[in-house]
Amino acid sequence: MLRVQLAAIDAWSPPLVRAAWLNIALFIGTLVGLLIDPRVIAGAPAWLKPAKFCLSTAVYLLTIAWIISAEVLLILMQAARGTVSHFNVNSAFDAAVFSTMGVGIATVWLCTMVILWVHWRTPARDRTMALACRLGLLLQIGGAGIGWIMTRPFPGQVEAMQHGVRPMTIGAHTVGARDGGPGLPITRWSTEHGDLRVAHFVGMHALQILPLLLLAFRAARGGTNEAPERVLLTATSAAYAAFVVVILLQALHGQPFVSLARS
């Protein structure tokens, strides 16, 4: 029975769950350290801080894995039912599904803020890479927050509700038209109107882009040099944030991303 339950948990997201198990194993090791090592660091048992970090990281990873799995299942279910998953309030059931997804997303968003706060307060051996991760997390939080703009009622939906008509959807990612119009291949970002998904996507993936950029810079220079790396990160992060703001404002004004690419 226990094996079946563990297999079900592992199915949520194998990489995240295995990382959580690793942290749980390390947490057990820190408990042993608390029992046998009498040393004190800054007024606290030497192994207390590692224990707290291992446990909190394990809980965070399992929470994220469960939420991701639940949201994917809800999206798959709505697709099987032949309807949209996001912004769908066409029935009480659809509204409940979308609300459940919203709670999960909000939980991940808040957990990411906690991770950033903890990461920023934790000394790092590779300070430049730590800065890349922290700035990436900060931009990722901002990019994820753009998703909340999509959930607000748009003018046509507000007008319908004012006339007592229940709209099928509340919120949208397209600005200036209904979702589902002509879009780019694969991403389906609108080619005729503003699309909030572009800034949402670009902002969220700063967490991968900034560390990878730093690694590429190190590979090109053949080593690590903190001073120029920090200048590069600061300038790149500022430019990246400005780009996200520009494409967000562009979308809010109803202009497609392709118009910026062509200019």
pLDDT value, residue 9: 55
- Residue 118 inside a domain? The answer is no
pLDDT value, residue 108: 78
CA-CA distance, 126 to 175, in Å (whole number)? 42
pLDDT value, residue 202: 93
* Confidence band for 2, pLDDT divided at 50, 70 and 90: very low
* Confidence band for 4, pLDDT divided at 50, 70 and 90: very low
Among 73-77, 140-144, 224-228, 235-239, the least confident range: 73-77
pLDDT value, residue 220: 87
pLDDT value, residue 7: 54
Contact 34, 51 (CB under 8 A): yes
- Residue 44 inside a domain? The answer is no
- Residue 24 inside a domain? The answer is no
Evaluate if residue 189 carries a pLDDT over 70. Answer: yes
pLDDT value, residue 42: 63
- Residue 74 inside a domain? The answer is no
62 φ/ψ angles, rounded to the nearest 5 degrees: -65, -35
**AA identity, residue 1:** M
Domain of residue 245: give its range.
127-263
Please choose, from the candidates 138, 142, 133, 119, the residue with its C-alpha nearest in 3D space to the C-alpha of residue 214: 133
Among 3-7, 52-56, 245-249, the least confident range: 3-7
- Residue 80 inside a domain? The answer is no
Each residue's pLDDT tens digit, 156-184: 777 777 777 776 777 788 888 888 788 88
Evaluate if residue 3 carries a pLDDT over 60. Answer: no
* Confidence band for 44, pLDDT divided at 50, 70 and 90: confident
* Confidence band for 8, pLDDT divided at 50, 70 and 90: low
Please choose, from the candidates 174, 12, 160, 155, the residue with its C-alpha nearest in 3D space to the C-alpha of residue 86: 174
Each residue's pLDDT tens digit, 202-253: 998 898 899 899 999 888 887 777 888 999 999 999 999 999 999 999 999 9
pTM greater than the 0.85 cutoff: no
pLDDT value, residue 90: 76
**Average pLDDT of every residue of the chain:** 82
* Confidence band for 11, pLDDT divided at 50, 70 and 90: low
Share of the chain above pLDDT 70, in %: 90
Pairing of strands 194-195, 174-175: antiparallel
- Residue 14 inside a domain? The answer is no
- Residue 137 inside a domain? The answer is yes
Domain total for the chain? 1
Evaluate if residue 47 carries a pLDDT over 90. Answer: no
- Residue 256 inside a domain? The answer is yes
Share of the chain above pLDDT 90, in %: 21
